[in-house]
Structure formats: C-alpha cells, structure tokens
A and B are shown apart, each in its own frame.
Chain A
Amino acid sequence: MIVERIAIEGYRCFVKSATVAGFGAGLNVVSAPNGTGKSTLFEALRRALIDHHSVSGVEAEKMRPWGRSISPSVTVDFAHGALRYRVHKRFLDDPSCELSRWEGDDFVVVDRGERADEKVRSLLSRPTAPKGLSREAHWGLAQVLWAPQGMIELGPLGPELATRVRETLAAQVVGARGAEIERMVEERFRAFFTPQTAKLKAGKKAPELVRRSEALALAKTAVDRARERHERAALTQERVGALRAELVRAERERSERGAQLAEREASLRAFDAKVSARAEAEQRATVAEAGAKSAKVELDAWRNGKAQLQERERRQADAVIALALAKARRDEAAVEVAAASERESRAARAHGALSELERLYRAARERARAEAVLADCDARIAAIDLEILRVEESRAALVPDAPTAADVASMRALEAARSSAKARLDALALTVTFDAKSPVTIEHEGEAKALSAGETLTLRALGALSAALDDRVSLTVRGPLSGPDAREAEESLQASAAALGALSRRFSASSADELDSLRAKAAAASMELRARERGLSTLGGAQARLALIERCREAVSTLELVVTDDRSESALAAELERARIDAEASGSIRTSAEARRDAERALAEREVAVAVAEERVSSCERATGEARAALDELARRGKSEAACQDAFERAALSLDVARVALSKSALELEGRAEIERAVREGVAHCARAEADALALRDAARTEEGRLDELVSGATFTVLARAEEEVTRLESEVARLEVEAEAVKLLREVLVRCRDEAIAKVSGEVERAAGRILGRIATGSSLEVELGETFAPTRAWVGAREGEGVALERLSGGEREQVHFAVRLALAEVLASEERPMVVLDDVLVATDNARLARVIEVLEDAAKRMQVIVLTCHPERYATAREATWISLAR
C-alpha cells in the first residue's frame, strides 16, 4: 500500500480541512514542529485504514476538536498494486465509510459501510482488527509496520498476527504446492474437527463419524433395553419355575395337612367310642372270672387224677422201655466181646506175618549188600593187578645206559669234524678218473679192479698216485706235496673217526640221528613208567589190594550166614508194605486185647442194669393200678371230665376276651387332650397351607402372565437384531475413527514438521535484524533472538555465543535500534507479496546522530521495497536522506 494523500477535517486539532499530499513511494519525511498535529495525522491515518467507521466510546470521542461537536472525517488516497483507491470515513455522528477506486478519470465508489471498512483493512493488512485501536495487538499488520510516537519498542504480536507472520514464513518454506496440500489437509481436518479444540464437530456439520457414533449410542441403548427385557424374561422364567415348584410343594403340603387333620379327627371319634365300650367290658370280665373259677375247681379234680394216672402209666412204659433197652445193650455188649476177641486174634496174625517178612527183607538186603561189596572188591583188585602188570611192562621197556642229549650233541660234533676233515683231504688229494671204452683192469696200490665198457673208476691220493692198466700201462700222477694242512686234516679225521667209533659201539648206533632216536625212545619209556606208577599209586597199590581181598572174605562169610528164601528184595519190600498196611488196619495187639477186656466189662455192667430195670417195671405196674382205681371213684361220684373241660374253656375264653378289651381300652384312653390339641393344630396348618397355596397360585399366574407378555415379544430375536445393528455400526465407526484419527495425525505431523521448518526460517528474521543492526552500529555487530511472538528478547554483541544480554540491559539507543531493526526485518519478510507501508512517528530519539545517519541509509535502502513515512519534529536529523520526499506540515 502506498499512501498518496491524506485529507482531514474536524479531527482534533484539525478543525478545518487540511490536506497532506505528495507522498512518494519510497522514503517520506513529514516534518513539523511540536503541536502541529503530526501524531494526530498519524492517528487519523490509522483510523481511516484500520478502524471501524462506527467506532464509539470515550477514546473515540477524543477525535472531536476540543469543545466542538462536529464529526471528524478523514480521507486517504492510496495505491495498492496497480489500482488507486480512496477511503473516506466520517466518525461519531452519522458515521460512514466509502471506498472508491480510480477508474480512468475519477474515483468510483466500490463499497460503503462495514464492507468498505473490511475491504480497506484487507488491502492494508490481514488479519483485520477485531476491536478498537486502543491496543496495538488489534492493529493487525500495522502493529509491526507502524511505530507510534516514542513507541518504537515492538511488543508481543497479537496471536493472529503472529500466525500471519508464521504463515508468511511457512509459505516461504512450504512452497505453493506444499501450501495447497496443507490447505487440503486442513480442509479435511476441519471436516472432522473444530480447528480450535481439535474435537469432533457437532451439530449439523458433524462428520459421518459423529452421526454413526450417535447412531451407535442409540443402537447400544436399544441393545441395553432389549437385553434388559431379555434378561427380565429369563428372570421371569426362573421365577415362574421357582413358583411352580413352590406351588407343587405347597399343594403337597396342603394335601398332607388335610390328611393329617382327618386322621386326627378320626382318632378323637374313636377315642370317645372306646370310653363307652370300656364299661361294658369290665362287666363282662367280672362275670367271666366267677364262671371260670367254678369250672376250674371241677376240672382240676379230673385233671389231677388223670395226670397222676398218665404219669404213672408213662413211668411204667418208661420202665418197660428201659428194660428192653437194657437187654438190648446187654446183647450188644456180648456181640462186642466176640468181635473184640476176633479182632485181637486177627491182629496177632497180621503182626506175626509182618515180623517174618521184615526179617526176610532185612536178610535179603544184607545178602545184596554183601554181593555188591564182593563185586566191587573183585573189580578193584582186577584193576590194581592190571596196573601192576603195566608198570612191569614199562619197567622192562626201559633202556639201560641210554644216550643223553649231551651224547647226541657230541656225536653230531664229531660227525661234523670228520666231514670237515674229509672235505679238506678231498680238496688236497689228486683225483684220476678212468672211463673205460672197452673192458680193462686197473691195479692200484696192489688191488686190481676190472672195468667193463662204459664203467668209470675214480682214484684219489695225496702227493702221488700210481696205477697200472691191464699191466700194459703204468700211470703215475704227481701233485704238490702234502703240507701241515693235510696232516692236520688227516689227524682230525682219524681222531673224530676213533671217537665216533667209541660212541657207536657204546650205544650201538651208527649215526647221531640214530643215537638221538635211541635217546627219545628211552625218554618216552621212562615217562610211561612214571605215568603207570602214578596210576597204580592212585588205586592204592599192593596194600589196597590186600585190604580188598580181606573185604571179599568178609562178604563171602556174610553170604554164607544169611538165610533167606528165593524172593527178591523188591518183591519182599512190596509184600512187607502190604503186611504193614494189614497190621495197621488190624491195630496193635495190645489195643485189641484192651478192647476185648473193655467189652467184657461192659457186658457185666449191662447184665446188672437188666436186673435193675426188671425190678422198676414191677414197681410201676403196682402204682398205675392204684391211680386207675382213684379215677374210677371220681366217675362214680359226678360230671364227666369232658363236660367239666368244656365248661371251663368257655368261661376262660370269655374272661380273656374281657381282659384284653379292658387292657387295650386302658392304653387307648390315655392322651385325649393331646389328640384334641393335635386336631386344633391340624386345622390351623390346613388353613395356612391352603392360604400359601392360594398365594403361590396367584403369584405364579401373575408371573406367567408377565412371561407370556415377554415371550410374545420375542425378546431374543429383538436383542439379536439390535446386537447385529450395534456390530454393524461398531464396524463402521471403527473404520471412520481410523479415518478421523489418520486425518488428525496427518495434520498433527504436518504442523509439527512445518513448525520445525518455520523455526529454521524464523532464524532468517533474526539474521536480517542482525544485519540491519550491523549496518547501524558499524564496527560492532549485534545478534538478536526473537520470542514466540516475534518480540526481541535477547541480544548478543558480536557472535551469538553464551546466553546473550537481556534487552532491558541494553542502552536506550541500542534498545530502540534493536526494535527498529526487528520491525524492518519483519516488514521485509511480510513484504514478499505487496509493497507495505512503514510509519515511524518520532522514534529513534535516543539514537545518536552518527547511528541515525546509518539508520537513514537503511531506511533509504528499505524504501526501495516499501513506503516509509517518517514523522519528525527534527527534520534536520534526516538531512542526510538524499532520496527522501520531504513534506512539511508547517506549510
């Protein structure tokens, strides 16, 4: 925005219309002495470009010239981009705002009122001021670009402005395409969430997720209702089941109580009947007792007599039986005596036979043992004799003076010496061989030898050999003379031959091998003899043989003494076993004899018993006769026994019946009070059981009714469908939740990455401010740190090392220079799209002239990219600004 002209009227000190025009696009220095209205002009500019035309209140009233009620108005002509605009605002009374645009030859109204306010603000700055201008934070971009009089210090930027600054920085780091993606992410985020709280949107613009979640909540409520109804049905089922079971129990109880009561009432009735019956029974018992007594006296007389007779007859019969029994026992004893005698003689016979057989068996065993000893001794004697014979034979086979191994070795040495001597002589001897072609006789050393055709003869001799052939030829062959070797060989030959001859003669062996064979045979015969002698020794030798012969003699004499028949031992053993069995079966002889004697004693006793029994029979016959005579006397005197018996039985029966009836009624008649109490309790129980059953029946019917109503509602089917709906919605909600969470996360991550990038970029603002400061304070560079809201917080003199210096600790001039530099750096950043307007109202008052000169250079440089308006009452301080447009309000 480039301000070209400001017209003001009725505004504070400008009561009349005043116009300030001629602003250049670069640096403008507006000068005026104090009280001329520089700051008023600056305020009017702000009101025109930023404030609402309808602003009111105490602060707004200050716009009126003091003591007047006229309405202030401001008109500002400005260029924005390629267009020129004019805004005219009238404040307080009948406020208005009109925005016009230059269209060829005149300004034409574009907007009026609020919309014109908004349009102007949007051209100047975004965001727009939300309220009045009392707070810098509400100035929007002007908070950075405009410094009111003496207020160069840049306070914390308003949140929206800070955001704007960040966005501006972000746009630089994000780029157009990145910004488009960020916009889409934001748009997508806002489709789900509110931007301020990042909570899911509600109301008409709520996303599908919220609507589905609400539907899910409703569906869950429906499930809860359905489940509650279904569980109620289950509970009702249980209650009905329990009530039915309870009802069955109550009905059974009622029935049992009724039966119990009826039983008790019957008992009471029976009790009363028994009381009247008891009196009759007592009467009957008295009569029966008298009759029974009378009948009993008569009957007892008959019974006693008969009993006496029967007793005596019984005793008589017993005596007769006892007599017969005694006789029978006596006869049995006689038979037993005979049998015992027979058993005794049989036992004697069996034992005799057994003794004989035992004797024969022992003799047979003795004979067999002697025969065995005899055979054994014979065999052993024969074995000893055979062994003695073999020892003799071995002894005879022994060679006397047998050659030893040394003899054999000597003979072998001699044979070797002889062979060696012979060989040596043969080597020294002359040899002549005659091969006869025709028969010839050869004479040598006086011995003639006739050779046939084809025969040969070899002659040997030491030194010289002479021979004659058929007396026709005499042949003499001479060789070298035999020396000491020949003699030694010859002597050795003769000595060994002599020694060999002695040995041969001694052992009758012609060679060493033969001699060795003789030695081996002699050694074998000696070993055999020793073996035989050991065998004989094992058998005991001659001493044992003598002992055996003695045992044979003893056995023979035993055989001669033993007398037996011709049965074998085994046959006798079998017979002996049978005889033993017979003897055991017959018992011992002594036992048999004792048994016989016992039988004879028993017979004598039983003879005595027979005599006693015969005496007892006679006595009983006499007593029976007496009793029978007494009964005959009773019969003659009165009633028969049968009549007496009949009369007594009838009376006794009547008496028993009467007594039983009496005793029974006596027992049953006790406890009437208890029965009456039980009846009363029974009545109460019955009533209670009836009431219980009735109540349960009613309760069961009520619950059954409820159950029918629930069952008809198919609670499970309803629940199942509701749960299916919940599951379906849960699935959708889960899907949408992931989608929403993903969008949220995407935005969160993107913001995080952007903030990180911006943090890097905001360093650029700090560096730009540092460069400006460096130009102002030549020779000593300054570094600046900006806070969250872009207000400078610390500074470093020189390199940015250590913790730096808090801004408050800088000098007033340095401090205002820092703020100036930061404002200008921010303006540079924000000027990326549109040329901004910077207004400095009498600031940098603490800056010395040297630095101010460099500040002016900085401003001139900045004025290439922005419009700078400096308001000052000291125009001389800006005298170095060669390219500035000078405007004097004094004019």
Chain B
Amino acid sequence: MGMRAAHAGAAAEQVRAARIDAAERVAAAARARAADFVVLCGDTFEDNQVERALVARVVEIMASCRCPVYVIPGNHDALVPGSVWGDGSFARAPTVRVLRDESPLDAPGGVTLWPCVARARHDERDPTLWVRAPSDGRVHVLLAHGTVESVHYEEPWYPIARDCAERARVDYVALGHFHQHLEYVGGDGVARMAYSGTHEPTRFGERDPGQALLVSIEKAGDRPSIEPMVTGALRWLVVEATLREAGDVARTADAVRAMGEGAQTLMRLKLDGYLRVDEQDALVSLAEMVRERFLFGRVESALRPAPTDSAWTRDLPPGPVLDAAKLLAQWAEPSFDGRPSHVSAEVAARALLELYSMASTGE
C-alpha cells in the first residue's frame, strides 16, 4: 500500500487506488469463505512514512474481514519507532492484531501462530531460527517475511532456508516479501511453504501476482490445501513487436486492439525493426491508441527508416538535402560502425524522420 509507481507514469494514483480496491476484495473473500483468520506477512505498507490516512483506510479494510487479522511487520514497514504500527487506528480495531514479539500465540481453529517480526529494513539473519513447534496436536503456522534461498530478488534480506517448515516442525509457513506466488515442496512431496505474492500486480514483468492464498489444514500433520484466489485487477502488459514487412504496424495495432478495452491495463509497447515511409501515420495512430486506450500506455520505439525503402529519399531534391538524407540513413542503421562518436543511431533515425517530415510538408 502506498507504493511509489513512477513506472506507471500519470497513472500512479490509479495504481495506488487499485491496491486499495484489491485489499477490499481480499477482505470480501475472507468473509465469503468464512476464513478462521487472515495473516499478512509483512510489507503491508511500502514504507513506514506513508500517509496516515492511508493507514487508517487499510486498517478499516482489515477490520471488515469479520475474523481476526494477524499482521507481521516486514522490511518495508519494519517495527521501528515511528512506524505505521504505532498509528492509533490499530488500537481502535480489536480484530486486527499486529504481532510485535517472537512468541507463539493461539489463533482460532486450533492453530498456533509463530510470528517472525522484521525490525529493520535490512537484515541478513534468518528470522525463523527461533521456531521449534511442539507436537501437541495443534496446527502450527509460521509467519515470516524474507527471501527463501534460491529466490533471486533485488532485496535479498531476511534469508529463509528452504527446509524451514521441516526444521521448525510446523504445518505451514506463510511467507511475504516476494511479489509473486511461489510454493515450495518439501522432501515429503508436500508444499508447506508459500509466498502468496502481492494482492495486486506491482509492475511490468511479474509472474502470477495479484492473488491471495486460501490455506486449509484439517488437523496437525495434514497436507495443507493451498488455493490461490485472484484479487488483482490491473493487467501489466509488455508487448514486443519487431516490424519487418509492410503492414506490420497495422498488424501490431490489430493485435493491441484485440487485447480489449484497457481501463485496467497498463501497457508498454516495445517496437523494433524498420519503419516504412507509408506507415508513419499508422505508427502515430498506434501510439495514440496505446496512450488513449489503456490506463497507461507507452510506446518505446527503436524503429529506424527501412534502408531498402527508397521512398525515404525519392522525393528529396538532389544535392545537399539528398546527400544529408543518405548520410543519416546510413548512420541510423545500428550495425553501421562509421558513425561519429557523438551521434547515436536513434538520433540519426529521428533526424531522418524530421527531414522526411519537412520535405513532405514543403511539397
């Protein structure tokens, strides 16, 4: 919640708002499925210094689950002085419980929770090492925030061993930190450890985000049933197209159009390859469509004038203008190595397009 969304451009506020909506869907799912309780395994908030109004709204959503909600601080919202967890709204929500100590506590349904609390942004110690659950017939659930070994993540803090569930002798390890849904199967072939991923997709290029997990354990020692429930709404699409032939711009536009209406879609359209003279207008239309059709749309063009397309120079007057066009066309080819050091292929291509545009206007 409250994340920075610079990558979403002008849609940053909508992206943040979508995360609130997704949180409400999680609460609704908890009510609909009569969950015994809900756990949030850290990084509920992007930072401890988010708006307090946002904190109050999130607590309100948690309280609407109609069941106890157990929250552990993560590395982004670590339990430090002045953290979000000191906000008064938590005290006004009796069903929302922030777990601040490493001590087991009983939860509904014969469950014992073992919370691992993050107290700093960075920590290279395994937060679960203190857990050794007894064999007392209760279902033991470990709540942790960190990076399971072998997960490649830009924030490799709070390392957690893959055999955490076996070592801690718990029935399930609920994990937070990694943004994507990921389950870990133990030596007995049973998945007892899982990241739910974020409840709403966060950025481009994520796999299986936007979910909450409904975890059911009948009794101590039973195989946990892990059911992903879709809670996210936004689609973050990256479409890459290489234009080679005439009509490729139109075909790309058709493909984008076929993706449907995009009020919930953020799109990066990456174009590479060659642009033909007669497809310039189509490219402009495509860029406009991407911008207007989706919540966020950006065309990243690395297109260059097709070297085989003589139309780029056909209508230019002979002499310096034509010479300049030919020189720019040569420089616009990325593989050409005789380009002056201060000139990039991208700028040369753009200069050629400018020249063509002026020549067309001047006719």
Contact = CB atoms under 8 A, between A and B. Distances in A.
A756 B323 contact: yes
A708 B82 contact: yes
A223 to B, nearest CB: 10
Contacts of B348: 742, 745
Interface string A687-721: 00000000000000000100110111111110111
A184 B328 CA distance: 17
Interface string B1-38: 01111111110100000000000000000000000000
B321 A720 contact: no
Interface string A160-185: 00000000001001110110111011
Nearest to A714: B51
A241 B81 contact: yes
Contacts of A178: 317, 319-321
B82 A707 contact: yes
Nearest to B353: A742
Given A175-B317, A716-B47, A188 B358 contact: yes
A743 interface: yes
Given A711-B52, A745-B343, A720 B320 contact: no
Interface in B328-363: 328, 343, 346-348, 350-355, 358-359, 361-362
Nearest to A229: B49
A726 interface: yes
B75 interface: no
B80 interface: yes
Contacts of B7: 727
A715 B328 contact: no
Contacts of A714: 49-52
Interface in B39-55: 46-52, 54
A241 B327 CA distance: 64
A228 interface: no
Interface residues of A, number: 54
A597 to B, nearest CB: 74
Interface residues of B, number: 47
A721 B354 CA distance: 35
A738 B353 CA distance: 12
B324 interface: yes
B56 to A, nearest CB: 12
Interface in B312-326: 316-321, 323-324
Contacts of B51: 714, 717
B347 A742 contact: yes
B4 A719 contact: yes
A879 B23 CA distance: 107
Interface string B52-88: 1010000000000000000000000000111100000
B319 A180 contact: no
Interface of B is mostly: helix
A700 to B, nearest CB: 9
A753 to B, nearest CB: 4
B9 A184 contact: no
A315 B5 CA distance: 109
A720 B46 CA distance: 10
A728 B7 CA distance: 8
B4 to A, nearest CB: 3
A746 B320 contact: no
A190 interface: no
A738 B320 contact: no
A727 B15 CA distance: 16
Contact of B81 (A177, A244, A712): A244
B12 A710 contact: no
Contact of B323 (A726, A743, A757): A757
B5 A184 contact: no
Given A738-B347, A743-B354, A754 B49 contact: no
A230 B350 CA distance: 40
A82 B343 CA distance: 50
Contacts of B12: 720-721, 724
A177 B3 CA distance: 55
B169 to A, nearest CB: 32
A731 interface: yes
Contacts of A241: 80-81
The 4 A-B residue pairs with the shortest CB-CB distance, nearest first, are A720-B4, A742-B350, A727-B6, A716-B47
13 contacts: A173-B319, A174-B317, A175-B319, A710-B49, A714-B50, A727-B7, A741-B347, A743-B354, A745-B351, A746-B352, A750-B355, A756-B323, A757-B319
